[in-house]
Structure 1
Amino acid sequence: MKKVGILGGTFDPPHYGHLLIANEVLSALQLDEIWFMPNHEPPHKKKQESVMDEDRLQMLKLAIAGNPDFVIQPIELERIGPSYTADTMKILNHDYPDHQFFFIIGADMIEYLPKWHKIDELVQHVQFVGVERPSYSRQTDFPVLYVDVPAIDISSSMIRDRVRFGKTVRYLLPDPVIDYIEEKHLYGT
């Protein structure tokens, strides 16, 4: 059975925090691959009119280039409306019956698990893997494996703000992603 970690998110833009989490979980749980799953419309956040899905997808391709264990899974970008993990996992389990899935979430999402759409059904289809995020609790009644990840307090919103105000984002995200942001004039550049 192939063991696959799934890291979902908006990746607006993808940064070293995403890559570090993916790599640490891949190694700690001895997974075969990490699937980066950009969503079209996250149900827990109001969709920001930031960049087009195509740009987020291209930045993600640039960010993971060179790591054969990192793969993009575009299933949620291809659907219309909110991307509910319960629906996505039902489809993935059907389409990949020889895979075991590990859904990676930060401590902010661990706190939010009771509010997830069809959470009781979802925990039957996927193993949650929790990673630390500063100032969030990891207490939950749901089954969550924990992986210690070096603390790196980077967020996409912080990067967007830095770009918007002309501050450097070097060493926060891969250089090809920075080049793409500048070339496409994203986030107010």
Structure 2
Amino acid sequence: MAKIGVFGGSFNPPHHGHLLIAQEALAAFALDEVWWMPASQPPHKQLAGNVSDEDRIALVQEAIRHNDKFSLSLLEFEREGPSYTIDTMRTLCTRYPTHEFFFIIGGDMANSLEQWHEIEALGKLVTFIAINREDYPLKENHYPFSVEELYVPSFNVSSTFIRQRLEEGKNTKYILPDGVRRVIEVKGLYGTEESPRNR
């Protein structure tokens, strides 16, 4: 039985913090792979920036291409309308009945699991890996399903912060993977290209 980590998010853009979380989960839980799953239409927010789904797919592909334990899943792009985690996991469990799935979430998401769509049904399909960081500490929970805690060193950078720096022409070297920075520059994403002095 393969142990698969499912790492969902808007990845707008993917950065070193995302890579660190995925790698820490892979190692701590002896996962066979981590499947990165960009959300096509997050149900609770609109995507920021001037990026298309195709742009974000290209950015994730570039971010993970040097790690053979990471792969890209486009499952959420197969459906129209809002995408809920329970729908995604039901599809995955049907397609891969011999796999064991671990769903990787940040502390902010773990602290509000009771608000998720069909959370009790979802909790029967996956083991949650909840990331505990200094900036998003986990609160004590009493969920009737498995939520495993994983401490990850803090990488206090968000995709919002990165988008702002890109729009202002500020440095993102060592914040974004070099390949992701190149794709952003070539495509002219997030407003303006970086200043040459920041490349």
TM-score (structure 2 length as normaliser): 0.91
- Contact 1:133–1:153 under 8 Å retained in 2: no
Letter in 2 for 1:141: H
Deviations 1:124-177 (A, max 9, x none): 011100012444341222231011211111211110011001110111111111
Tell me: CA distance 1:11–1:180, structure 2 relative to 1, closer, same or farther (3 Å).
Answer: same
Which residue number corresponds to residue 76 of structure 1? 76
- Contact 2:104–2:129 under 8 Å retained in 1: yes
Which residue number corresponds to residue 188 of structure 1? 191
Larger radius of gyration: 2
Which residue number corresponds to residue 197 of structure 2? none
> Does 1:173 pair with 2:180?
no
Tell me the secondary structure at the aligned position of residue 46 of structure 1: coil
> Does 1:126 pair with 2:129?
no
Letter in 1 for 2:85: T
Q: Percent identity?
A: 48
Which residue number corresponds to residue 104 of structure 1? 104
Tell me: CA distance 1:165–1:49, structure 2 relative to 1, closer, same or farther (3 Å).
Answer: closer
Letter in 2 for 1:172: I
Tell me the secondary structure at the aligned position of residue 186 of structure 1: coil
Which residue number corresponds to residue 141 of structure 1? 142
CA-atom RMSD in angstroms? 1.2
Q: Give me the whole-angstrom Cα distance separating, in 1, the residues matched to 2:96 and 2:162.
A: 35
Q: CA deviation at 1:86?
A: 0.5
Q: Give me the whole-angstrom Cα distance separating, in 2, the residues matched to 1:51 and 1:32.
A: 31
Deviations 1:82-104 (A, max 9, x none): 11000110000000001000000
Aligned pairs (5 A) from 1:2-41: 2-41=2-41
Aligned pairs (5 A) from 1:53-64: 53-64=53-64
> Does 1:116 pair with 2:119?
no
Q: Give me the whole-angstrom Cα distance separating, in 1, the residues matched to 2:49 and 2:174.
A: 25
- Contact 2:131–2:152 under 8 Å retained in 1: yes
Q: Give me the whole-angstrom Cα distance separating, in 1, the residues matched to 2:181 and 2:66.
A: 17
Q: Give me the whole-angstrom Cα distance separating, in 1, the residues matched to 2:56 and 2:161.
A: 16
| Structure 2, unaligned runs of 5 or more | 193-199
Please list every run of at least 4 consecutive aligned residues from structure 1 whose deviation after the TM superposition is greater than 6 angstroms. none
Q: CA deviation at 1:49?
A: 5.2
